[in-house]
Amino acid sequence: MSQDMARRARFEPSGVRPMPAPRSAAADERSRQDPSRPLTGIAERLAAAGDGDRQAEGRTDLGTLLQAAAGNAFGPLLLVPAVLAWLPVIGAIPGMSILTGALLALIAGQVLLGRRHPWVPARLKRIGIGRQALTRGIDAAKPWLAALDRLVSRRLSWMTRGSGRHLAMLCILGMAALMFPLAVVPFGVMLPATAILAIALGVTAGDGAWVIAGCFASAAAAGASALLLAWI
């Protein structure tokens, strides 16, 4: 045994391994986002957050869901309310369309203003969502979300940054505004929520094709919503 090994053996107890270095916040944020399966990953984190939160009996606060599923990234933070509004079981909860619409407008507006980190009011974070409805909605949607994830790839990245990104955020603002009057129409918010889901999916995964599809879907949803609201 060499002198160096002897000195090391003298100061390191047998069988004790050095503690690994703590992970940085940036590393945690990168592990939170999985571009290959953004929708499935967010659904799984939402379900895990709902199961683990015991602050209020039978309910999970929105802040817990946002932090667990999105952290401080704008793309996933747009995906979370879009998924919640798009799921029929959850989107049908009274007041959910107003909550998700306000949150989407707030986040999209911050992107347009050039903020580097998203901000959500504490009052919104404290709003509770029924844990049973959350779990049931996510379980029912997982096969559909997994199918959408398989259609995602990195392409047309120019639509996920710069002017393309601004156009996408303007579409989200318009669709979020539609969610307020459509709150009185059963499942009416699914029209704008579908367009927002496509845009947010593209922004999160770096897939400009989904952003473009979401922008066209926004135009179609605006027309269909106008006819629906005029009819009622």
Each residue's pLDDT tens digit, 141-161 = 788 888 888 888 889 988 988
Q: What is the pLDDT of residue 129?
A: 77
pLDDT tens for each residue of 64-96: 878 776 666 788 888 888 888 888 777 667 778
pLDDT over 50 (residue 230): yes
In sequence order, what E strands does 97-227 have?
A: 128-130
**Considering all CA atoms of the chain, what is the largest pairwise distance in Å, rounded to the nearest integer?**
88
Question: pTM higher than 0.75, yes or no?
Answer: no
Q: What angle do CA 82, 44, 200 make, to 5 degrees?
A: 25
pLDDT tens for each residue of 42-66: 778 877 776 655 445 577 778 787 8
Query: How far does CA 172 lie from the centroid of its chain?
Result: 14
The encoded tokens of residue 108 equal 């999209």
Domain ranges within the chain, ordered by starting residue? 36-152+161-231
Q: What is the pLDDT of residue 171?
A: 96
* DSSP at 130: E
Tell me the average pLDDT of the chain.
78
Mean pLDDT of 201-207: 89
The encoded tokens of residue 158 equal 């120019």
Helices (H), 117-161: 122-125, 131-149
CA–CA distance from 84 to each of 112, 151, 232 (Å)? 23, 21, 25
